[in-house]
Structure 1
Amino acid sequence: MLRSALVALLCLSSIASAASLLSQLPFTTSNELSDKWSWTDCGLETDPVRIQNIEISPDPPIPGKALTVTVTGTANEVIEWGAKADVTVKLGLIKLLTKTFDVCEEAEKANATVQCPVEKGQYVVEQTVDLPKEIPQAKFKIHVSGYTVDDEDMMCMDLDINFMKTF
C-alpha cells in the first residue's frame, strides 16, 4: 500500500478521468454552481466517503483548456488498495461510456497529493487536467459510484456538465 490520504481522490480521479475520457468521443445534496455544471451527492450519510464541496477553474469548463478541480471531502473509514469507482458518461439518455477505475492506481498515476491507504479525516485535493478541445457541444451526465475493497458502497456522485455554447 502507498502512503496516506483521501477518497475525495476517488471523485477527483473519476472527474478527471471522465473529463479525459470525453476525448474518446467523435454533479441528495445538490450544488448548482453555474448554469454550466452542477453536482449531487447521491450517497448515504453513512458512506465511507462524503464530498462536501467541488470547485472548478475556469468555471464554466472550457474545452481545450486546463481544468483545475478542487475537491473537499471526508474519509470516515480507511480506504485501502482495491477500492474502485464505476464511472458512466451519458449524452442525454444515451450511455456513451462505462468504465471501472482502481482509485488507488489512478491516484498513483496522477501523482495525486493523496495516496492509498487513505486514513480517516478531512481532505482537500486539487488536480489539474487538460480538457480535449474535441469535446462535443452537448450536455453530459456523469455518474460515479465508489466501492471499498470489500465491495461495499463507498460514495456516490452525479455530475451534469454543459458544453453547449451560449449566445
Structure 2
Amino acid sequence: MRFSTACVAAMSASLVSAGSWFGGLQEVITDDAQKVPGDSPLEFCDSDHSKDVVRIESVDLQPNPPQPGSQLVIHATGTVYEPVTQGAYVNLVVKFGLIRLVSTRADLCEQIQNVDLECPIEKGVLTITKTVDIPKEVPPGTYNVYAEVINADKKPITCLQASVKFGGSSPGDL
C-alpha cells in the first residue's frame, strides 16, 4: 500500500468494518511517545518498528474527534519499502472496556479494497484520502483497538493501536 495506505488503510478499513469505532468520539486517549504523527488517535504498538515493511509518516482525521452522524475524512501518507502481496493479513482485536468485541484475522488485500486499493502494493510513497460515514448511534464507553499487520512472507508491515472514549461513563469504562 504505498505504505500509509496499506497499513493505515487496513487499520481504517478494519475499524470501519468493525463498527466505526471512532464515530462519535468525544475523548481521545493517547501516549505521545508512541503516537503516529498527525491529528488522529493512532499509536504505534510497543514493539520494534525498524524492520516494518511500511513506515507511516502521518495520519489525519477530519474532524478529530469524529462526530456522530457526520462524515470522517482519513488522510494518510507513508512509504512502502517492500511490496505488500496477496496473503498479507491483519490480526484485529477490538475491546469495549474489558469486553472483547472482535478478535479476528482479516485478509489485508480484501480490507484495503475499502480504501480503493488492491494488492500487490508496490514500493514507494503512498497517500490516501478516504471519506466514511459515521453512524449516529455509538454506545458510550472506551474502545481499544489493536491491529497487527503482517505480509505474506511473515514480515511485519506495521502495528497500530488506538484507545478512544465515546460519551460519558458507562459499563464499557471499566
TM-score, scaled to structure 1 = 0.79
Q: CA deviation at 1:149?
A: 0.7
Structure 2 match to 1:10: 7
Assess if the C-alpha contact under 8 Å between 1:57 and 1:68 holds in 2.
yes
Q: CA deviation at 1:31?
A: 4.6
Superposed CA RMSD? 2.6
Identity in percent: 29
In structure 2, what is the Cα distance between the partners aligned to 1:130 and 1:92?
A: 24
SS of corresponding position for 2:42: strand
Contiguous gaps of at least 5 residues in structure 2 = 22-29, 170-174
Q: CA deviation at 1:72?
A: 1.3
Within-5 A mapping of 1:1-167: 5-8=1-4, 9-22=6-19, 29-31=34-36, 38-42=41-45, 43=47, 44-108=49-113, 110=114, 112=116, 114-164=117-167
In structure 2, what is the Cα distance between the partners aligned to 1:111 and 1:122?
A: 16
- Deviating 4+ runs (over 3 angstroms): 31-34
TM-score, scaled to structure 2 = 0.77
SS of corresponding position for 2:68: coil
Aligned length: 156
Q: CA deviation at 1:60?
A: 0.8
In structure 2, what is the Cα distance between the partners aligned to 1:12 and 1:69?
A: 9
SS of corresponding position for 1:19: helix
Assess if the C-alpha contact under 8 Å between 1:6 and 1:116 holds in 2.
no
